[in-house]
Amino acid sequence: MQELKHGKETTEEEDEVAVGIDKGFMDEFFEQVEEIRGFIESLAEKVEEVKRKHSAILASPNPDEKTKAELEDLMADIKKLANKIRSKLKSIQQIIEQEESQNKSSADLRIRKTQHSTLSRKFVEVMSEYNTTQSDYRERCKGRIQRQLEITGRNTTNEELESMLESDNPAIFTSGIIMDNITEQAMNEIETRHTEIIKLENSIRELHDMFMDMAMLVESQVKNIDPLSVPTALWFRPRKMHVKTDLHVQS
């Protein structure tokens, strides 16, 4: 009888230790969740600031260098922060997959999967908004170039303009134009908008793999996702690929 009592006490102590470990682990997990949520909120704020910089740059034919430098800094910050968020989400995902491979199942695991899924979808949502912002800016820059060319009497189709945008040489836009028909301001604006498009595409290209990785992760998490909304080219619009595919993840 004494042995049974001792065995019961030992089991209860072990259970208490296990509960304590689980509680500590979950407390740490929720701290991670709050940290990642804060990073995503900061990312969303930076995307809104990018929109404001875009408007300021487009408002002037020759935007000041300070504003352009601030935009570049913002895009670099977004890239750095997005990679940090992705790394933290991937780390959580690896732990979840490890536990699932060991056939572990618990309320805590379900909570972590739900939290991870929610954060991942929010992250993709913010980055999708960033992509839309970049795509809109590209179109508006392209529109400014087309307008200046029309003023000089040079009409271009959308395909011709896209082909010209492939070049790193802004002189391609003014070839064949009688120089008396184009002002220095118009030439400067064409060069400025073209440079902005090149920077923009380089920035998006750098983030392409991360976009693909996170979007596929979210797709695998959400069983009721609309198959037509799964990205093929994703939000990426690199040179020589002018296909825009939006990603809409269902909540």
> What residue segments make up the domains of the chain, in order of their start?
14-229
**Residue 7: pLDDT above 70?**
no
CB 41 within 8 A of CB 27: no
Mean local confidence (pLDDT), 48-55: 96
How far apart CA 189 and CA 62 sit, in angstroms, is: 6
Judge whether 172 and 164 are in contact, CB under 8 Å: yes
| Banded pLDDT at 14 (limits 50, 70, 90) | very low
17's enclosing H/E stretch is helix 2-58
pTM of the model: 0.73
- Which pLDDT tens digit goes with each residue over 199-221? 888 887 877 777 777 777 777 66
Report whether CATH 1.20.58.70 matches the domain 14-229.
Answer: yes
Residues 242 and 142: beta-carbon distance below 8 Å: no
Please give the share of the chain, as a percent, with pLDDT higher than 70: 71
Helix axes 2-58, 107-151, angle to 10 degrees: 10
